[in-house]
Structure 1
Amino acid sequence: GIFFCKLEYENLYNGLQICLEKQETISIFLCLFDYFSLNHDFQSGLKLSEFVCQAQESYPSEICTGEIGWEIMMVLDRLANCYFQIKNYQKAKVSYQRIVELTQQLSGISEKQYQLALANTYHQLGYIAQELRDFPDARCYYQQSLEIYLKFGYDYDLTNTYHQNLANTYHQMGMVAQELKEFENAQQNYQLALNIRLKYRLRYEQAKTYHQLGLVALELEEFETARHNYQVALEIWSEFKSYYEEAKTSHELGIFSAKLGEFSEARKHYHKALAIKIEYNYYYEQAGTYGQLGLLAASQENYTEARVNLQKALGIYVEYKDEYRANITREILERLPE
């Protein structure tokens, strides 16, 4: 599919332009967007989504309430997702809020379809609030999403989509509680998510929750439980060849080992995580592991090595305009003995 889309891109794009000029259905856009998404080309996906949104602004209001209105929402959803992927959270938030407004103007769709579209949008707004570290807002959005899923989603479809969405929301509510250091609340939400993922055999998603349960168990000093959860997560990541996630869990195993004073084990896990991040060009994520290697070196009074690794982490955070983590890293560097 990717090969043929690349081969026929010009024809598909010209077809999309004709559809927009005639103000007809734009299913071709969904094909092209999936092509960019599968190739992780979010800048091209963003450019395409902006072009389609701009063209749809000229549509007469009377055709924007039925099927065409639903497609306008779908384009906005993908535009918001692209903004989110490139970490332009404010523009992503504006786009998702626009979707909430548009859903109230739609006609010809069922109450359930309308509500479930809202639930998905509230979930994404919660995710954005979480990234902006506005945890009360994030919790509020997730709660709104959860209430809709529980009320309208029980017979949503014959696939696992509903169960995935419900588990995802419980999982994210666990992450918010974890950020607020409400660890028992986090554990409860993660367990609700895991129960759904186990029941419906959502194996890949199980690893995400095992990973987070490992983090919480470590905070609660339930060390054997933490080790078990991390190892199960790693097993699943390896099974699916999910190198990015495998690097994340290896990174957390490094933190776990360092906390137990197993410094050589910690270094081994960090270097495994870093090797994966470098090989697969997860550049931003390298910063976290460089930071932990710096802290590990500092704890062993190897301040030269600590400073080198922390400077690498700081450089990446500055490059990505992550002021929150950049400021934390600067403070740690300033406290290091000369």
Structure 2
Amino acid sequence: MTCTSVTVKEKCSVRRLRYLLLLVMWVSCPSVAAAPSELNSLRQAVAEARQQGEMDSADQLAQQYLSAAIAQADQKELGNVYYQLGRNAMERNNYPQAREYLEQAVSQYKSAAATLSLANALRQLGQTFRYQSDYQKALEYLYQAMQLYQQLNDPSAIASGYNSIGTTLEKMGQYEQALQAHQQSLTLHYQTGNKSGIASAIFNLGDLHRVLGDTSQALSYFQQALELDKANGNLRDIAYSHNKLGYLYSESGDYQQAADHLQQALSLFEQISAPRDADWARTNQAKLAMHQGNFPQAVTLITGVISRATVHNYNSLLVDAYKLATELAITMSEYDTALTYIDAGVNLARQNLERADEAQLWQMRVNVLLQQDRPREALAALMQQNKLEDDIFNNKRVSAIASIQAQTEFIRQQQQIDRLQQQQILQQALLEQHRWSRNFWILGLAAAFILLLSLYRRLIQKRLNQRLSQQVAARTAELHQKNNELSLAYQQLETISLTDKLTGLHNRRFLEDHIESDLEHCRRMQQDWQAGKTARPKGADLVVFMIDLDNFKALNDTYGHSIGDLILKQLKHRMQQVFRQTDYLVRWGGEEFVAVARFIEREDASQLAGRFVESVHSAPFEVDKQHSLNVSCSVGYACYPFPEGATTRPWPALLRLADLCLYAAKYSGRNGWVGVQHYQSALPLDAADVDATQLQRAIADGDIEICHSFTDTLNWLPPV
């Protein structure tokens, strides 16, 4: 491995020296017309400098190349210069500039009748439109290039054309057509024995399966591509395969494999002096560190990527880095930092015309604003996100229709070419008929074959038209569905406002909105029974449980608030194991929770309280894979209905009684429960204003019956 590294560095030094000598030669002798071999050397030097990531050298060499080509007055050579300038601009993500240069290259190639070079320039033009998400224009240029490749009957070029078409169709969401294009590319590369092309086609198939969510198939393709790349010895392709494998293993949770592949990718990118690609690998390493919970390392990596990408104008990389930095800040609950990254990412994505990335950043803004309890701003951000997604959807619909039209036009032109060829065959056959009459039957068979071929072409055309109609209808239906999503957004925000952000349980506002109707229903069932209208109801009681974690402040002070938050999240699951889905489970505040058992028998309340205390105490709470903590809780509860006329404010009374019972459990030793079970026909006080001393007197007088889990006498007041 050390020898390889030295060799690559030596080669890079030789290249830099050659670039410098070429620049010095052209600066010192600007008036001398260059020989064709010298122009070839300049063209190769521009391409090599670009591949090594030395873009300043590549641009300087390209300008010298332009001066030499102008002096030569060769249209094809001028086309080659503009083609290289266009590729340089693409490497810098300056797509408008790249389009101008490539259009100049197309003009020069047309004048010089350089068909293969013209096709290559058209294909690159299609790529620039694809990078800017203008897939309709991209396909127009790609199909023009493909027609020229087929006229030249160049299998290798046709395979490259299918590769570009497949990648564009994949971006449009037309995965079936994209898969067919990549498979055709792979078949042609196999036929021509192009090992590098085979590896590239397999890599693209792997990436398509990754997008479709078939991780196992994607891994298989990428591993096969890596083996082929190693056999071909192309370090850049080997690094790309390692980088993609590292990303997939990271997403699937195999962090060791991910770390190994990403490190190999980074080492290779550094060896071949590809700084932008090296930072792509570091971005994936940052995401891996985030998945593993190593936030300091993730922050260091991604801030470094952002800094370098800003300096070198790696705009596409910078947008992805902003998205990952935002995700990392949200995970660390640093919401102001997240909003800063979102603002920078939105502006850059808008500048790059990367609308899908811009929509994702708006979605992140919605989530951050909701975490900060800023629902109005969140709604505005959600509407902006939906508007962007609608625009993207409409553009995709138009592009999909344009894609089918372009494919149809491509087939139509192929039919014209076939008809011309068929006419030539028929003319030749007529000449042969004059010479050899015995070939009459052969000509008849040829005519029959041509007729069948024509019918087959018409059948294909008919199917394409049917598919177009079906896709238009499907896209229209999807648009109606999308328009309905905005109205649902308001309902989503209402749901969010009634939910505790940390645990996902309902919050106090939800309970206050719903409890009064349940209390009224219980009261009416009791009144109907007492009035003799109905039999004694079963399951007509309501029990309010106040739950508080013991010594939770000390746990937070010792282990930190992040560990405390983990305990609160796990407590939710234990509540769901004890209480029913129809019961109200609420985070009341801090470490205090409320559970409302709806329409049960109050005799079951003590059993529920005991089960919940045991569920918390019996099993430790997991902090991470290696550590856990033992936690206990105290529970106080009160049952409803009260006796008739006991109070006009039943809900505050229930809360007060349950709270007094909760504190009695805490003062009596914690890890237990206390509850008010039954009341006499009339309470001597308004239960909403009761204090511990009054409650003790009511218990002593027999007006209130309590149950508890403690063996000793209950303490209703804190120990002195």
Identify whether the pair has TM-score above 0.5, normalized to the shorter chain: yes
Mapped pair 1:46 → 2:99: yes
CA distance in 2, matches of 1:323, 1:207: 29
Q: Which residue identity lines up with residue 280 of structure 2 in the other structure?
A: K
**AA matched with 2:296:** S
Aligned-residue offset at 1:120: 0.9
Q: Is 1:251 the counterpart of 2:283 in the alignment?
A: yes
Q: How far apart are residue 100 of structure 1 and its match?
A: 2.6
Counterpart of 2:338? 306
Per-residue Cα deviation, 1:31-73 (whole angstroms, up to 9, x for no partner): 44224434657655533543464577799xxxxxxx8544543
Instruction: Determine the C-alpha separation between the residues in 1 that align with 2:281 and 2:169.
Output: 24
1:166 maps to amino acid: I
Whichever structure has more helix as a proportion of its residues is: 1
8 Å CA contact 1:183, 1:219 repeated in 2? no
Aligned equivalent of 1:22: none
Alignment of 1:103-182 (within 5 A): 103-104=149-150, 106=151, 114-150=154-190, 152-154=191-193, 162-182=194-214
Percent of residue pairs identical? 14
Q: Is the 8 A contact 2:83 2:121 kept in 1?
A: no
Q: Distance in 1 between matches of 2:260 and 2:316?
A: 28
Query: How far apart, CA to CA, are the structure 1 residues paired with 2:269 and 2:236?
Result: 7
Whole-Å separation in 1 of the counterparts to 2:247 and 2:139:
28
Amino acid across the alignment from 2:142: Y
Report which of the two structures shows the higher radius of gyration computed on alpha carbons: 2
* Structure 1, 280-289 or 126-135: larger mean CA deviation: 126-135
1:216 to 1:284, Cα distance in 2 relative to 1, 3 A: closer
Change (3 A) 1:42 1:221: closer
The one-letter amino acid paired with 2:145 is I
Change (3 A) 1:75 1:292: closer
Provide, for residues 228-263 of structure 1, a one-character-per-residue CA deviation record: whole Å limited to 9, x for no partner: 001111111111121111111111111111111111
The residue type paired with residue 280 of structure 1 is H
- Determine if contact 2:306/2:318 at 8 Å carries over to the other structure: yes
| Structure 1 equivalent of residue 27 of structure 2 | none
* Shift, 1:197, TM fit: 0.9
Aligned to 2:125: 79
- Residue pair 2:315, 2:352 contacting (<8 A) in 1 also: no
Task: Encode CA deviations 1:206-234: one digit per residue, 9 max, x unaligned.
Answer: 01000111111122221110110011111
List per-residue Cα deviations over 1:270-289 (Å, max 9, x = no partner). Answer: 11211221121112321221
Structure 2 residue aligned with 1:330: 362
Is the contact between residue 189 and residue 195 of structure 2 (CA under 8 Å) also seen in structure 1?
no
TM-score normalised by length of structure 1: 0.81
Range with bigger deviation, 91-100 or 264-273: 91-100
Distance (whole Å) between structure 2 residues aligned to residue 260 and residue 281 of structure 1: 30
8 Å Cα contact 2:123/2:141 also seen in 1: yes
Tell me which residue corresponds to 1:15: 74
Distance change (3 Å), C-alpha of 1:249 and 1:78 = closer
Q: Alpha-carbon deviations, 1:266-310, whole Å to 9, x = none?
A: 111111211221121112321221222222122122111111111
Residue aligned with 1:301, SS: coil
8 Å contact 1:126–1:140 — kept in the other structure? yes
Distance of 1:241 and 1:327 partners within structure 2: 33
Amino acid at match of 2:100: K
Q: Distance in 1 between matches of 2:305 and 2:236?
A: 19
Query: Secondary structure at the residue paired with 2:154?
Result: helix
Higher mean alpha-carbon deviation, 253-262 vs 76-85, is at: 76-85
CA positional deviation for 1:144: 1.1
Letter in 1 for 2:103: E
Tell me the SS of whatever aligns to 1:8.
helix
**Count of aligned residue pairs for this structure pair:** 307
Q: Pairwise CA RMSD of aligned residues?
A: 2.6
* CA-CA distance at 1:9 after TM superposition: 4.9
| 1:243/1:276 contact within 8 Å kept | no
Paired position in structure 2 for 1:296: 328
The 8 Å contact of residues 5 and 32 in structure 1, kept in 2 or not, is answered as no
Q: What is residue 64 of structure 1 aligned with on the other side?
A: none
Structure 1, gaps ≥5 residues long: 17-25, 60-66, 155-161
The answer to whether residue 140 in structure 2 is matched with residue 94 in structure 1 is yes
Q: Is the 8 A contact 2:110 2:118 kept in 1?
A: no
Measured against aligned partners, the alpha-carbon deviations of 1:144-203 in whole angstroms (never above 9, x if no partner) come to: 1111111x212xxxxxxx222111111111111111111111111111111111112112
Output the amino acid matched with 1:8.
A
* Number of the residue aligned with 2:575: none
1:5 paired to 2:65: yes
Moved more, 201-210 or 125-134: 125-134
